[in-house]
Chain A
Amino acid sequence: KAGVTQTPRYLIKTRGQQVTLSCSPISGHRSVSWYQQTPGQGLQFLFEYFSETQRNKGNFPGRFSGRQFSNSRSEMNVSTLELGDSALYLCASSFRAEETQYFGPGTRLLVL
């Protein structure tokens, strides 16, 4: 069974631009969570989607948004990029009834 896939793997943007990242969960998984990982803050939860609905949200500004499609694929968008948004963005998928989340390889975003 294929794992979680994320595209693109690497991205370079400039301040003020916006970016969209994509995540395809493991087949059959309907829950998708997004995390930001930075050296200083570690892994921090952004939001979680299930059946196209956002069920939980972390403490990030409104510039960070996401959505989920009917096939469980998810996207996250960051608008008006700031230097501090440079990070590894990870998505993870899981079965609804199970707690274990499986991570994708991440998208490394560099904001210049």
Chain B
Amino acid sequence: GQNIDQPTEMTATEGAIVQINCTYQTSGFNGLFWYQQHAGEAPTFLSYNVLDGLEEKGRFSSFLSRSKGYSYLLLKELQMKDSASYLCAVSPDGYKKLVFGTGTRLLVSP
């Protein structure tokens, strides 16, 4: 089976740093994605990791450890507009079938 776990909800304050964790157990692995989804909107692509290590893109970074089945998304210098759900997804077989976690709702307060 396929299983992806991430915390349901997190809170943080403006300007802070937050780390959203994701663990996965899938039948195969062809990459891990992070998407941001504001309420009522479509998911927006944030990052893609297929090799171990850290990928940095502006205020957002994503880390992957394939041996541990673990990833995290790091958001720095939080802004109010970062309040959204963050979805962790794995591609098990490279056939464009993403398996999603249930998402982490992040609330950024002033």
Q: Are A and B genuine complex partners?
A: yes
Query: Chain A interface (Cβ within 8 Å of chain B)?
Result: 31, 33, 35, 42-45, 48, 50, 55-56, 58, 90, 94, 99-106
- With A42-B102, A99-B30: A33-B43 Cβ-Cβ less than 8 Å: no
B83 shortest CB reach to chain A, Å: 18
Query: Chain B interface (Cβ within 8 Å of chain A)?
Result: 30-31, 33, 35, 41-45, 48, 50, 87, 89, 91, 94-103
The 8 lowest CB-CB distance pairs between A and B, nearest first, are: A43-B100, A103-B42, A42-B102, A48-B96, A56-B95, A56-B97, A103-B43, A45-B97
Contact assessment for A48 and B94 in the assembled complex, using a CB-CB cutoff below 8 Å: no
Contact assessment for B45 and A100 in the assembled complex, using a CB-CB cutoff below 8 Å: yes
B2 shortest CB reach to chain A, Å: 10
Chain A interface mostly: strand
Contact assessment for B96 and A31 in the assembled complex, using a CB-CB cutoff below 8 Å: yes
Among candidates A56, A58, A90, A100, residue contacting B42 with C-beta atoms closer than 8 Å? A90
Contact assessment for A33 and B96 in the assembled complex, using a CB-CB cutoff below 8 Å: yes
B54 shortest CB reach to chain A, Å: 18
Q: Apart from A42-B102, A42-B103, A99-B31, what are 11 other A-B pairs with CB-CB below 8 Å? A: A31-B96, A33-B97, A43-B98, A48-B96, A56-B95, A56-B97, A99-B96, A100-B33, A100-B48, A104-B42, A106-B42
> Which residues of chain A are within 8 angstroms of B31 by Cβ–Cβ distance?
99
Nearest CB in chain B to that of A40: its residue:
B102
Contact assessment for A102 and B100 in the assembled complex, using a CB-CB cutoff below 8 Å: no
Contact assessment for B96 and A42 in the assembled complex, using a CB-CB cutoff below 8 Å: no
